[in-house]
Structure 1
Amino acid sequence: MNDALPREIHAVLIPVGSVRLLLPNAIVAEIAPLSGLEKVERAPAWLLGRMPWRDDTIPLVSFSLLTDANAQEDVRTARVAVLKTLADDDEMPHIGLLAHGLPRLITITPDLLVRTDGGERLARGTSAHVLVRSDQAIIPDLHWIEARIAQALPA
């Protein structure tokens, strides 16, 4: 069995606020229109609410508000990046991240991805700052984000 890392990874650059998130294409279920948003009572500002998606209701998160207390969000022209969660959780199989603009599909090879954070302390919700070709991007810490959402949702 070959345990070597893949030579290419299909990924998506998703504009979120003033940054781009770099995510594996395999976890992006869909880019959906924002509609039917219902507020969650006593939720933090970054948990924008729940929205219907297919036969489910998913939590919608503002990455900008979650990771930067001074950020603001404009939901009027936003879309939703629907992501498969990393935890095998029947209660929350998908989450939505507020996206601005259209995502871009890219193929990444090890020589095209350069870490740019230099080992500095990263903002919460962030795994790495990277350069992909000429694009600056953030690799989000999805485990941390999913845990925060689970804590914020009513039982």
Structure 2
Amino acid sequence: MAHAGSLKSRLIPMQQKPLLLPASCIADVVDYSRPSGGSQENKWFLGEIDWRGQTVPLISFERINGGRFAEFSATARIAVMHSSTGNEQLPFYGMVIQGIPQELDLNAGDIQLVNETDSIAGSAETSRVTVRDIPAAIPDLEQLEQQLSALLTAA
């Protein structure tokens, strides 16, 4: 049961460090399906998938964050994300994840910022944290969505 002041969150399994997000960011988690399209110049844009009758762009967080990314694995899934910026041209987008997100009810004391000298945040992260002793990253969804929106507008 959630306590007053707790935040419903999801710990999203990734190939490198898991991502920590508010539960409200995630619209759905679906089985991985191979996207159509994609971009040779922007390898983080994997193409588009069909979700509930809509075409949704699919990204690799690891690639946009400057890390390595192996597209296919037995545990790959797609987290369909709500736009955090309210962009009407991009109401949803997909992100490849590795498995089922873990639900967490977090209180302020459950999250510690990681000292930047120990762990440099990637370009698409706002910070690195420890959540109940699990190292995680907080993604910069606004920047990520702006990059995706700019790419789709240019296409």
TM-score tier (shorter): 0.7 to 0.9
Q: Which runs of 5+ in 2 are unaligned?
A: none
Q: Which amino acid aligns with 2:124?
A: G
Corresponding position of 2:33: 35
Report the counterpart of residue 128 of structure 1 in structure 2: 127
Distance 2:94 2:150 in 1: 16
Q: Is the 8 A contact 1:84 1:93 kept in 2?
A: yes
Q: Do the aligned partners of residues 31 and 135 (structure 1) sit closer, same or farther apart at CA in structure 2, a change above 3 Å counting?
A: same
Matches within 5 A, 1:86-105: 86-105=84-103
Between 112-121 and 124-133, report the one with greater CA deviation: 112-121
Q: CA deviation at 1:17?
A: 1.3
Partners of 2:120 and 2:13 in 1: how far apart? 23
Letter in 2 for 1:122: A
1:107-146 superposed matches below 5 A: 107-118=105-116, 122-146=121-145
Give the SS at the match of 2:146.
helix
In the alignment, residue 13 of structure 1 is paired with which amino acid?
L
Paired residue secondary structure (2:78): strand
- Which sections of structure 1, spanning at least 5 residues, go unmatched? 1-5
By how many angstroms is 1:59 displaced? 0.8
CA RMSD of aligned residues (A): 1.9
Q: Return structure 1 stretches of 4+ with deviation > 4 angstroms.
A: none
How far 1:76 sits from its partner (Å)?
4.0
8 Å CA contact retained: 1:60, 1:96: yes
d(CA) in 2 for partners of 1:59, 1:139: 21
Aligned residues: 149
Please give the residue correspondences for 1:1-155 in structure 2 after superposition, counting only pairs within 5 Å: 7-35=5-33, 37-42=35-40, 44-68=42-66, 71-77=68-74, 78-118=76-116, 122-153=121-152, 154-155=154-155
Superposed CA offset, 1:4-28 (max 9, x none): xx61000000111111000000111
Taking the aligned partners of 1:116 and 1:97, their CA distance within structure 2 comes to 24
**TM-score, length-normalised on structure 2?**
0.87
Query: In structure 2, how many angstroms separate the alpha carbons of the residues matched to 1:79 and 1:22?
Result: 16
CA contact (8 A) 2:61 2:96 kept: yes
Structure 2 vs 1, CA of residues 122 and 134 (structure 1 numbering), >3 Å: closer, same or farther?
closer
> Normalising to structure 1: TM-score of the pair?
0.87
